[in-house]
Chains A and B, each alone.
Chain A
Amino acid sequence: MKKKYSIFSLAKNALSGHKDWQKMWRSPEPREFYDVIIIGGGGHGLGTAYYLAKEHGLKNIAVIEKGWLGGGNTGRNTTIIRSNYLWDDSAHLYEHSLKLWENLSSELNYNVMFSQRGVMNLAHNEHDIKEIKRRVSANNLNGIDSFWLSKEEIQKKVPIMNTDNLRYPVLGASYQPRGGVARHDAIAWGFAMRADEMGVDIIQNCEAHQIRTKNGTIEGVETSKGFLRANKVGVVASGHTGVLAESAGIRLPLQSKPLQALVSEPIKPIIDTVVMSSAVHAYVSQSDKGELVIGAGTDSYNSFTQRGGFNIIEDTIRAMVELYPVFGKMKMLRQWGGIVDICPDASPIISKCDIEGLFFNCGWGTGGFKATPGSANVFAHTIAKNEPHQINSAFNLDRFASGRLVDEHGAAAVAH
Chain B
Amino acid sequence: MLIINCPYCGPRDQSEFSNGGEAHVKRPDGSKEIGDREWGEYVFIRANPKGLFYERWVHTHGCRKWFNCVRDTSTDEILVTYKLDEKKPNLNDFKSVVKTPSGEPEVGSGNFTVEK
Contact = CB atoms under 8 A, between A and B. Distances in A.
A207 B100 contact: yes
Contacts of B45: 251-253, 400
Interface in B47-90: 48-50, 53, 55, 71, 73-76
A311 B1 CA distance: 7
A253 B44 contact: yes
A240 B44 contact: no
B38 to A, nearest CB: 9
Interface in A303-321: 303-307, 309-311
B31 interface: no
Interface in A392-416: 400-403
B102 A400 contact: no
Which of B48, B108, B110 gathers most chain A CB within 10 Å? B48
A71 to B, nearest CB: 9
Nearest to A252: B45
A311 B111 contact: no
Interface of B: 1-2, 14-15, 18-19, 21, 35-37, 39-41, 43-46, 48-50, 53, 55, 71, 73-76, 100-104, 108-111
A303 B111 contact: no
A58 interface: no
A217 interface: no
B55 A301 contact: yes
A302 interface: yes
A200 interface: no
Nearest to A305: B110
11 contacts: A207-B104, A243-B49, A251-B41, A252-B48, A302-B21, A303-B110, A304-B110, A307-B111, A309-B1, A309-B2, A400-B44
A13 interface: no
B109 to A, nearest CB: 5
Given A300-B19, A311-B1, A311-B14, A247 B101 contact: yes
Given A247-B101, A305-B74, A311-B15, A255 B108 contact: no
A196 B90 CA distance: 48
The 7 closest A-B pairs by CB, nearest first: A401-B40, A305-B110, A301-B19, A253-B44, A209-B101, A401-B37, A242-B48
B40 A400 contact: yes
A82 interface: no
Given A310-B1, A400-B40, A66 B48 contact: no
Contacts of B111: 305-307
B101 A210 contact: yes
Given A207-B104, A300-B18, A401-B36, A305 B76 contact: yes
Q: How large is the interface on A (under 10, 10 to 19, 20 to 34, 35 or more residues)?
A: 35 or more
A213 to B, nearest CB: 15
A254 interface: yes
A221 to B, nearest CB: 10
A150 to B, nearest CB: 37
B24 to A, nearest CB: 15
B102 A303 contact: no
B68 to A, nearest CB: 13
Given A400-B43, A402-B36, 5 more contacts: A246-B49, A253-B45, A304-B73, A400-B41, A401-B35
Contact of B108 (A67, A209, A222, A243): A67
Interface in A190-232: 207-210, 222, 224
A256 interface: yes
A244 interface: yes
A240 B103 contact: yes
A30 interface: no
Given A304-B110, A306-B109, A244 B102 contact: yes
Contact of A302 (B14, B35, B55): B55
Nearest to A210: B101
Most buried by B among A208, A247, A255, A304: A304
Contacts of A300: 18-19
Interface in A234-260: 240, 242-244, 246-247, 251-256
Contacts of B55: 301-302
Contacts of B14: 309, 311
Contacts of A177: none
A290 interface: no
Contacts of B15: 311
Contacts of A307: 110-111
A222 to B, nearest CB: 8
Contacts of A207: 100, 102, 104
